[in-house]
């Protein structure tokens, strides 16, 4: 029985009934039981929310950076008080182990709202340029459409900078994992954010999402999700020539050079491939290694993968939870079968359910070797705990393999020589490259090349996405 039933949308500062009668079940990834329910919002609900956002824009865009920073800090504090609740809900929806969910799913959104408040203290909204004053102004009403794999983090990466810029927002979260968005709406409401500045409409992507992307009252749409869906968002947005920011798929390479600390690089690489059960757009799913050290890499990868025993994400010590849903589980198992059929060497894992876990959307942690760089499992985003090991003979070949996909979101390079690693990193066509395991920086720009999207999120670059530039000629 659903324990978290949400029967209202948040529009114009009020919790209101949806105009349609439909609802969407939210399913616990580990038990396959319904854990919550949200309204199935319609195009009419989106229209109401956009109208509220347009009505609030003049007031909110006219506030000063100090006032907006104060509001963002109140939101940050509100999220901090509900950190465990956020982590638990997302762990159940998505399957991320609770210890990681506390750090990532709950921790990163708090950091993002706080960092935007800090940034407003120093960001230059105007500058003198010769005989002109160049000013940066909010783009307007923002439609934010977010995914299920990092549900609140991706919401925060759009909502926080949009509010900081002086924009008003209509949020359409993923229907797979929407519950943390309601927690955020409650926090925003209690923080005293003026009516209409933030609005929440849940619903199916094909209905509410498309209505938001194509709405002529929306000045910008920021979307995170699959490349296929991103193309559709762009098509809908083009009718009104609105600004579009897209953070899409990835097939990220992990280039291990012949002088790298192999044990460290492989262990880290397996972890980066399997984080959130592989449900990460920037996951390092292609490990590109020297052919002469392939056997050693295979042994180390199997040893590392063995420590990722699938289990209940709410149990302390679990390192690999389930996938987010039945469709995703079948998709990943299909890719594993495709890898076997292509002739790749299956080192561990496989398409069968893990022992003792027939219930829940679990997949075995899987590692392939001898993977053809042009094969399906080396080219397409799987979004599950599946790692492909690809051998190379020369450094230039390694770079060529790394760049030979339609994606360019993230990458990694390992070398015993930092300068050599940086030379290779600069050759990789990706928006973010880890060098020798460099840690994620929430202030650095995040986004991709090629079909991984356009625009950047987080830090100063994320704020600038929501600003127009105007020249005042004096």
- Whichever domain contains 145, its CATH number is 3.40.605.10
CA-CA distances (angstroms) from residue 297 to 8, 291, 294?
52, 10, 5
Domain count within the chain: 2
Residues 426 and 464 in one domain: no
Supply the pLDDT for residue 3: 82
Range of the domain at 230: 4-248+452-473
Residues 194 and 338 in one domain: no
> Is residue 446 a part of any domain in this protein?
no
Alpha-carbon torsion 209, 213, 216, 222, what sign?
A: positive
Q: What is the pLDDT of residues 430-452, one digit of tens each?
A: 999 999 999 999 899 999 999 99
CA distance 215 to 239: 9
Say if CB 197 and CB 169 are below 8 A apart: yes
CA distance 52 to 13: 9
Is the pLDDT score of 465 beyond 80?
yes
Q: What is the pLDDT of residues 46-75, one digit of tens each?
A: 999 999 999 999 999 999 999 999 999 999
> Is residue 411 a part of any domain in this protein?
yes
Q: Please, is 426 exposed, middle or buried when counting C-beta atoms within 10 Å of its C-beta (0-12, 13-18, 19+)?
A: exposed
Residues 262 and 229 in one domain: no
Element (H, E) at 34: strand 34-39
Element (H, E) at 232: helix 227-238
Supply the pLDDT for residue 21: 92
CA distance 155 to 108: 11
Three-state DSSP class for 222? strand
Q: What is the pLDDT of residues 162-213, one digit of tens each?
A: 999 999 999 999 999 999 999 999 999 999 999 999 999 999 999 999 999 9
Supply the pLDDT for residue 1: 58
Express the helix, strand and coil content of the chain in percent, nearest 5 each: 40, 20, 35
Known active-site residue 348:
no
Across the range 403-411, mean pLDDT stands at 98
Residues 234 and 355 in one domain: no
Q: What is the pLDDT of residues 245-272, one digit of tens each?
A: 999 999 999 999 999 999 999 999 999 9
Could you tell me what percent of the chain has a pLDDT over 90?
A: 99
Chain-wide mean pLDDT for the chain? 97
Residues 346 and 257 in one domain: yes
Is the pLDDT score of 462 beyond 80?
yes
Choose the catalytic residue: 281, 298, 434, 465.
Answer: 281
Element (H, E) at 449: strand 449-450
Element (H, E) at 133: strand 132-138
Residues 142 and 220 in one domain: yes
> Is residue 447 a part of any domain in this protein?
no
CA distance 73 to 117: 6
Residues 210 and 334 in one domain: no
Is the pLDDT score of 347 beyond 90?
yes
CA distance 415 to 400: 17
DSSP per-residue letters across 257-297? -TTS-HHHHHHHHHHHHHGGGG--TT---EEEEEGGGHHHH
Supply the pLDDT for residue 358: 87
Residue keyed to tokens 């209940």: 312
Residues 89 and 171 in one domain: yes
Choose the catalytic residue: 93, 175, 210, 247.
Answer: 247
CA distance 88 to 428: 37
Residues 94 and 171 in one domain: yes
Residues 163 and 265 in one domain: no
Residues 323 and 466 in one domain: no
Across the range 384-391, mean pLDDT stands at 98
The total number of residues shown for the chain amounts to 474
Sheet architecture: strand order including 132-138 = 126-129, 132-138, 467-473
DSSP per-residue letters across 368-417? EES--TTSHHHHS---SSEEEEEEESSHHHHHHHHH-SSEESEEEEE-SS
Supply the pLDDT for residue 233: 98
Is the pLDDT score of 277 beyond 80?
yes
Three-state DSSP class for 367? strand
Residues 326 and 189 in one domain: no
- Whichever domain contains 406, its CATH number is 3.40.309.10
Q: What is the pLDDT of residues 142-152, one digit of tens each?
A: 999 999 999 99
Supply the pLDDT for residue 54: 98
């Amino acid at each position: 029985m659903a324990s978290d039933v949400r029967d209202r949308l948040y529009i114009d500062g009020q919790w209101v009934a949806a105009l349609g009668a439909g609802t969407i079940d939210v399913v616990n990834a580990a038990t396959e039981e319904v854990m919550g329910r949200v309204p199935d919002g319609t195009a009419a609900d989106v229209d109401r929310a956009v109208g509220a956002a347009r009505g609030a824009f003049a007031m909110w865009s006219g506030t000063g950076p100090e006032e907006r920073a104060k509001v963002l800090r109140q939101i940050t504090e509100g999220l901090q008080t509900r950190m465990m609740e956020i982590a638990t809900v997302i762990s159940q929806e998505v399957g991320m182990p609770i210890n990681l969910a506390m750090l990532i799913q709950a921790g990163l959104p708090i950091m993002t709202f706080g960092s935007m408040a800090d940034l407003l203290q120093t960001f230059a909204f105007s500058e003198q340029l010769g005989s002109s004053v160049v000013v940066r102004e909010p783009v307007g009403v923002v439609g934010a459409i977010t995914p299920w794999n990092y549900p609140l983090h991706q919401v925060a990466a759009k909502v926080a900078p949009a509010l900081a810029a002086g924009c008003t927002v209509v949020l359409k979260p993923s229907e797979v994992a929407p519950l943390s968005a309601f927690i955020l709406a409650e926090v925003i409401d209690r923080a005293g954010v003026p009516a209409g500045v933030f609005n929440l409409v849940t619903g199916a992507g094909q209905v509410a999402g498309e209505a938001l992307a194509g709405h002529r009252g929306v000045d910008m749409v920021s979307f995170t999700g699959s490349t296929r869906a991103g193309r559709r968002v762009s098509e809908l947005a083009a009718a009104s020539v609105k600004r579009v920011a897209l953070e899409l798929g990835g097939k990220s390479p992990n280039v291990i050079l012949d002088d790298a600390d192999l044990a460290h690089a492989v262990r880290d690489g397996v972890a980066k491939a399997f984080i959130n059960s592989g449900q990460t757009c920037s996951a390092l799913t292609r490990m590109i290694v020297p052919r002469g050290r392939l056997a050693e890499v295979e042994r180390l990868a199997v040893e590392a993968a063995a420590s990722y025993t699938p289990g209940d994400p709410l149990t302390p010590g679990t390192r690999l939870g389930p996938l987010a849903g039945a469709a995703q589980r079948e998709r990943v198992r299909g890719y594993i079968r495709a890898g076997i059929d292509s002739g790749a060497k299956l080192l561990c894992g496989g398409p069968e359910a893990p022992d003792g876990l027939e219930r829940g959307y679990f997949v075995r942690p899987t590692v392939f070797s001898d993977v053809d760089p042009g094969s399906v499992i080396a080219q397409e985003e799987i979004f599950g705990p599946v790692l492909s090991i690809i051998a190379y003979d020369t450094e230039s070949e390694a770079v060529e393999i790394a760049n030979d996909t339609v994606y360019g979101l993230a990458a990694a390079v390992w070398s015993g020589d930092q300068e050599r690693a940086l030379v290779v990193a600069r050759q990789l066509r990706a928006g973010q490259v880890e060098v020798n395991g460099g840690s994620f920086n929430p202030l650095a720009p995040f986004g991709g090349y090629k079909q991984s999207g356009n625009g950047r999120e987080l830090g100063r670059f994320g704020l600038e996405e929501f600003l127009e530039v105007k020249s005042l000629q004096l």
